[in-house]
Amino acid sequence: MGVVNLARVDERLIHGQVMMTLSKRNGVNSIFVVDDVVSNDKFMKGLYKSAGSRTGQKTIVMTLEKCKFYWDEYEFKDYSSILIAKTVNVMYDLVKHGVPMKELNIGGIAQKNPEKDILVTKSVYLNKEDALKLKELNEDYGVEDIYFQATPSAPKTSLKDVLKKFNL
């Protein structure tokens, strides 16, 4: 059975030194990019697979539904993966589907709606709905360590501290 070594939400998906550093984590042997748009665009899929291969790890780009299928049918085989998606919602959907993860890093989310999204760290905007989903993942689904950190060298901000900004 495979394992999600680290889950990360970052709109940039695979990029620069962040992925080079994260891909060197103990036990990591693959990167799973879960994004419907990228997976269905041959050119973009090729770019992300190429970028991922520069880390030295096998890189698999798939849709959300294919990721669920891959878990249901193969339990991610023998991969110890970094699982990356652009949104909290994708991670929420995967965990609720049964994909186990213990650590979730929120790295970069841009502001979408100025009326709902608040800046919770230097590189993350979050709305109350996503904050509630993260709280639920932590409290009800065993995602033990949820934190906000744009780069591995940046300070971590805990989920608890972010939830305070929403009075949760």
Q: pLDDT tens digits, residue range 114-130? A: 999 999 999 999 999 99
Whole-number Å distance between alpha carbons of 82 and 59: 10
Per-residue exposure over 65-94, b if at least 16 CB sit within 10 Å of its own CB, e if not: eebbebbeeeebeebbbbbbbbbbebbbbb
Quote the mean pLDDT of the chain.
Answer: 95
Q: pLDDT tens digits, residue range 8-53? A: 999 999 887 788 888 888 899 999 999 999 999 999 999 999 888 8
Whole-number Å distance between alpha carbons of 63 and 34: 5
**Cut 0.75: pTM above it:** yes
Which CATH number fits the domain that encloses residue 116? Answer: 3.40.35.10
Domain count, the chain: 1
Joined tokens for residue 42: 């041959």
- Structural domain boundaries enclosing 124: 3-164
Whole-number Å distance between alpha carbons of 40 and 48: 12
Do residues 59 and 14 make contact, with C-beta atoms less than 8 angstroms apart? yes
Residue 113 — pLDDT band, cuts 50, 70, 90? very high
Burial class (CB in 10 A: 0-12, 13-18, 19+), 145: middle
